[in-house]
Amino acid sequence: MAFAKEVSEYYYTGGEGNTVVSGPAGTGKSHLAMSILKDCLQHTDLTVIFASWSEVLHLIKDSFDNKDSFYSTEYFMEVFRNTDLLVIDDIGSEKITEWSMSLLTEVLDARTKTIITTNLKSDEIRKKYHNRTYSRLFRGIGKKHSILKILKISVLVNCHSRRKQ
């Protein structure tokens, strides 16, 4: 997991931008993202969160009917805004609606360091999500991005993370 350590070091030394991990189900995307978080925790006091996107949406929807629910949109926005490194796991597996796209865009707008995992390829993300959401997902991953093939996983990382400083 040398790559996980490299990405982790990039983030805990102040790097910004997103990392998108894309590939078929069962190829280790979530495991890779979790390894990055674990390494961050071993080397720094960054706050980190691993969040299943479909579970977040489910909890928020449940809060609409249950006013006693702790898991409101405001709760998640506050938590996501105030964590240093966030993994949003498995975007694209949810039923994509205007509401879910808007919420994802709002979360990404509030962040500077986010790791996103998905079964979707870049062109599939572009088709399923609005341009605004797509641009937020790939923030920091410009034309100079690195694409690493690890087994069957494509990892798009901020181009600066691949530079030796």
Tens-place pLDDT, residues 81-94:
999 999 999 999 99
Domain assignment present for 123? yes
> What phi and psi, each to the nearest 5 degrees, are found at residue 49?
-140, 140
What does the pLDDT read at residue 159? 42
Q: What is the mean pLDDT of the chain?
A: 86
Q: Write the CATH number for 100.
A: 3.40.50.300
Domain count, the chain: 1
Domain assignment present for 132? yes
Joined together, the tokens standing for residue 46 give 């960054």
Whole-Å CA distances, 78 to 71, 83, 111, 150: 11, 9, 11, 34
What does the pLDDT read at residue 165? 36
Q: Which of 52-66, 101-115, 135-149 has the lowest mean pLDDT?
A: 135-149
The kind and range of the H/E element at 71 are none
Whole-Å CA distances, 98 to 2, 101, 105, 130, 143: 38, 5, 10, 9, 28
Domain assignment present for 33? yes
Domain assignment present for 94? yes
- Pick from 128, 106, 118: nearest CA to 19: 118
User: H helices within 44-143, ranges in order?
Assistant: 53-65, 73-81, 98-109, 122-128, 131-137
Domain assignment present for 4? no
Domain assignment present for 5? no
Which range marks the domain in which residue 77 is found? Answer: 28-162
What does the pLDDT read at residue 154? 55
The highest-confidence range among 27-31, 50-54, 150-154, by mean pLDDT, is 50-54
Domain assignment present for 17? no
Domain assignment present for 1? no
- Using pLDDT thresholds of 50, 70 and 90, give the confidence band for residue 51: very high
